[in-house]
């Protein structure tokens, strides 16, 4: 006991399962069990090397895999952080379709297919931290890049944060801009669902003919 080495355990080198995969499972578990919560800074590469007795090569191979699975986010000079659920990632990480498309040199545009206010379903309410039945604003937008339909997006927001949202014309403006400037909504309380990120030809043509279909749950 007294001389127990401060390490989370060496990885099994003789095992047929590669070290980077063993390490990946270990880190994955820490994330999934909540030992490492979303937003947490996780140990740096050199620390992990020491903790598990592997080279930086192996640690980085593990990290790359976790990044591609969307479990962690890395930032040069700062560190590696546990990613929230994808939704949160894109919102809290300040994902903006408009900016994203512009960065690629394309012209972004949104078509509002439907919007309004409705009572929150149980599922939506729980995600937004509301009581079931509380009123939420919904918004379904077709997002286009250079007039090419790219994404169908449905957003829910608590109505109490968005009085008058339906009068706003935010075509061409990022939704978060509108909310931030005009309503000062706390971003972390917004949730969105994203559908159909695929942009293949057929999907596009299918989206194009959508008139204003009633897609609300």
Q: How many residues bind DNA (CB under 7 A)?
A: 26
Residue from 68, 75, 76, 184 touching a second copy (CB under 8 A): that is 68
| Residue partners of 165: CB distance under 8 A and separation at least 6 | 137, 157, 178, 183
Give alpha helix (H) positions in 33-129: 45-52, 56-68, 86-92, 97-103, 122-128
Name which of 40, 48, 23, 49 is nearest 81 in CA terms. 40
- Residues in the chain, overall count: 217
DSSP 14: S
Tokens, residue 131: 């009581």
Query: Which residues in the 26-65 window bind a second copy by CB under 8 A?
Result: 64
Residues near 109 by beta carbon (within 8 Å), at least 6 away in sequence = 143, 144, 145, 147, 171, 172
> Which of a second copy, DNA, none does residue 167 bind to, with CB < 5 to 8 Å depending on kind?
none
Determine, following the binding rule CB under 8 A, whether residue 117 of this chain makes contact with a second copy: no
Selected binder of a second copy within 10, 104, 107, 122 (CB under 8 A): 122
Total residues contacting a second copy (rule CB under 8 A)? 33
76 binds, among DNA, a second copy, none (CB under 5 to 8 A by kind): DNA
Please, which residue, 86 or 160, has the CB nearer to a second copy? 86
* Beta carbons of 51 and 90 less than 8 angstroms apart: no
Among 13, 46, 85, 129, binds a second copy (CB under 8 A): 85
Of these partners, DNA, a second copy, none, which one is at the site of residue 79 (CB under 5 to 8 Å by kind)?
DNA
17: contact with a second copy by CB under 8 A: no
Closer Cβ to a second copy, 76 or 184, answer by number: 76
Binding mask 31-70 for DNA (x = CB under 7 A): -------------xxxx-----xxxxxx-xx-x-------
Strand 191-195 relative to strand 108-119, pairing = unpaired
Residue bearing tokens 């939506």: 124
Query: According to CB under 7 A, which residues from 77 to 136 bind DNA?
Result: 77-80
Q: Which residues bind DNA (CB under 7 A)?
A: 13, 16, 18-21, 44-47, 53-58, 60-61, 63, 74-80
């Amino acid at each position: 006991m007294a001389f127990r080495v401060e390490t989370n355990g060496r990885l099994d080198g003789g095992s047929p399962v590669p070290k980077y995969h063993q390490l990946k499972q270990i880190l994955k578990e820490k994330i999934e069990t909540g030992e490492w919560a979303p937003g947490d800074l996780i140990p740096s590469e050199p620390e992990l090397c020491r903790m598990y007795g592997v080279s930086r090569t192996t640690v980085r191979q593990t990290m790359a895999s976790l990044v591609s699975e969307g479990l962690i986010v890395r930032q040069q000079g700062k560190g590696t952080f546990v990613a929230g659920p994808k939704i949160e990632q894109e919102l809290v990480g300040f994902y903006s379709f408009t900016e994203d498309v512009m960065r690629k040199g394309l012209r972004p545009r949104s078509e509002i297919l439907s919007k309004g206010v409705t009572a929150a379903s149980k599922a939506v309410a729980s995600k937004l931290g509301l009581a079931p039945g509380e009123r939420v604003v919904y918004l379904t937008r077709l997002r286009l890049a250079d007039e090419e339909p790219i994404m169908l997006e449905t957003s829910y927001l608590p109505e109490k944060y968005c009085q008058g949202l339906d009068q706003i014309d935010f075509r061409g403006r990022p939704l978060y801009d509108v909310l931030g400037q005009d309503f000062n909504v706390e971003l972390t309380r917004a949730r969105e669902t994203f559908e159909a990120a695929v942009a293949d030809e057929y999907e596009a043509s299918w989206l194009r003919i959508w008139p204003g279909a009633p897609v609300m749950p």
